[in-house]
């Protein structure tokens, strides 16, 4: 009874999200991050921004809207707003077929070249599971006289902190195949019980950087052997998908590969990639 009363009191005190404020939030997140929030995602805007409103001591979404309209483009509030509206779901060894393709098709060909360092960009790396999976696989399958480097980037500064920390709840351990549970991680003891960390020799292969995919700048030209841009294009409208795939094309080395998410596609877009597998593309020289 008391709990119900408390919930109702909470509900009465939840500010209403007016249509014009919702439209403003949706349009600015698309402009800044490319993220298109379809109507099914509108509840997410309400729940994610509600906590920020109380943290700022505001009483309504309209007040938060006015605050955003009044601040400079480089005000730190914009980063907090962006972090709140990204979706960061990820796993170790997610969409495992990509890692099998890497081991079975890409690496054997690359190993026949005289290149010394295999370079990868995980372009929407979230909390780090994707770049660390890459590092584990490359560590195991590249010979001793070859090296690799992974650049991991994301627009969201909070997930990048988690990624750099390289410590995960032990409930995520089962996402790793057994051989990697034994070789790539260390279980926490005492205070760190319930957590594991990525082994330092794997962690040190990954560097982190904030990067917005819909900005013109890129971390190089013809610079990477492989780019993973998975489960992020799904949030973008077609013109942003087009912009990003063109940018990734010039960032990749000729002969390099691009992995996108299994539920994503480049259909309906004019592009120069050769499709070489499910959600796998090659920049044919």
Residues contributing to the site for ligand SAM (CB under 6 A): 33-35, 86-90, 94, 124, 126, 130, 154-156, 159, 212-214, 230-232, 261
Helix, strand, coil % over all residues of the chain, rounded to 5: 50, 20, 35
Q: Pick the closest to residue 90 from 245, 219, 228 (CA basis).
A: 228
Q: Which is nearer to ligand SAM, 34 or 256 (CB)?
A: 34
Does residue 193 have an active-site annotation? no
Residues 6+ apart with CB under 8 A from 285: 254, 255
Among the options 46, 48, 146, 197, which is catalytic?
A: 48
Minimum distance, C-beta of residue 189 to ligand SAM, in the bound complex (Å)? 29
Minimum distance, C-beta of residue 7 to ligand SAM, in the bound complex (Å)? 31
Residues 6+ apart with CB under 8 A from 201: 139
Minimum distance, C-beta of residue 125 to ligand SAM, in the bound complex (Å)? 6
Does residue 48 have an active-site annotation? yes
Q: Which is nearer to ligand SAM, 230 or 257 (CB)?
A: 230
Q: Which is nearer to ligand SAM, 84 or 202 (CB)?
A: 84
Minimum distance, C-beta of residue 252 to ligand SAM, in the bound complex (Å)? 17
Rounded CA-CA distance 23/242 in Å is 24
Minimum distance, C-beta of residue 71 to ligand SAM, in the bound complex (Å)? 20
3-state secondary structure of 143: coil
3-state secondary structure of 108: helix
Minimum distance, C-beta of residue 193 to ligand SAM, in the bound complex (Å)? 27
3-state secondary structure of 227: strand
Rounded CA-CA distance 272/256 in Å is 13
At residue 256, φ and ψ (nearest 5 deg) are: -80, 170
Q: Which is nearer to ligand SAM, 15 or 135 (CB)?
A: 135
Rounded CA-CA distance 213/17 in Å is 29
Give the H or E element holding residue 208.
strand 206-210
Among the options 21, 32, 94, 154, which is catalytic?
A: 154
Q: Which is nearer to ligand SAM, 71 or 237 (CB)?
A: 237
Contact 269, 245 (CB under 8 A): yes
Q: How far, CA to CA in Å, does 105 sit from each of 119, 242, 276, 284?
A: 16, 27, 10, 15
Q: Which is nearer to ligand SAM, 61 or 259 (CB)?
A: 259
Q: Which residues are catalytic?
A: 48, 154
């Amino acid at each position: 009874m008391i709990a119900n009363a408390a919930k109702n009191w909470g509900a009465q005190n939840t500010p209403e999200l007016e249509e014009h404020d919702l439209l403003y939030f949706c349009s600015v997140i698309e402009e800044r991050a490319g993220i298109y929030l379809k109507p099914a995602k509108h509840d997410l805007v309400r729940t994610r921004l509600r906590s920020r409103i109380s943290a700022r001591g505001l009483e309504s979404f309209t007040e938060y809207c006015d605050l955003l309209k009044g601040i400079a483009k480089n005000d730190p509030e914009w980063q907090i707003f962006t972090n709140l509206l990204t979706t960061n779901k990820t796993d170790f060894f997610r969409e495992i077929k990509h890692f099998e393709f890497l081991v079975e098709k890409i690496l054997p060909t690359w190993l026949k070249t005289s290149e010394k360092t295999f370079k990868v960009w995980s372009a929407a790396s979230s909390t780090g599971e994707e770049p660390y999976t890459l590092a584990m696989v490359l560590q195991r399958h590249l010979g001793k006289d070859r090296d690799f480097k992974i650049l991991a980037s994301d627009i969201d500064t909070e997930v990048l902190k988690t990624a750099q920390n390289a410590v995960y709840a032990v409930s995520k351990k089962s996402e790793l195949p057994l051989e990697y549970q034994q070789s790539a991680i260390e279980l926490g003891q005492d205070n760190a019980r319930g957590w594991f960390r990525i082994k330092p020799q794997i962690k040190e292969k990954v560097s982190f950087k904030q990067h917005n995919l819909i900005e013109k700048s890129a971390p190089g030209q013809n610079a990477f052997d492989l780019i993973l841009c998975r489960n992020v294009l799904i949030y973008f409208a077609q013109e942003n998908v087009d912009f990003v795939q063109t940018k990734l094309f010039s960032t990749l080395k000729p002969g390099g590969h691009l992995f996108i998410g299994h539920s994503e596609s480049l259909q309906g877009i004019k592009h120069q990639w050769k499709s070489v597998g499910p959600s796998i593309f090659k920049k044919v020289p």
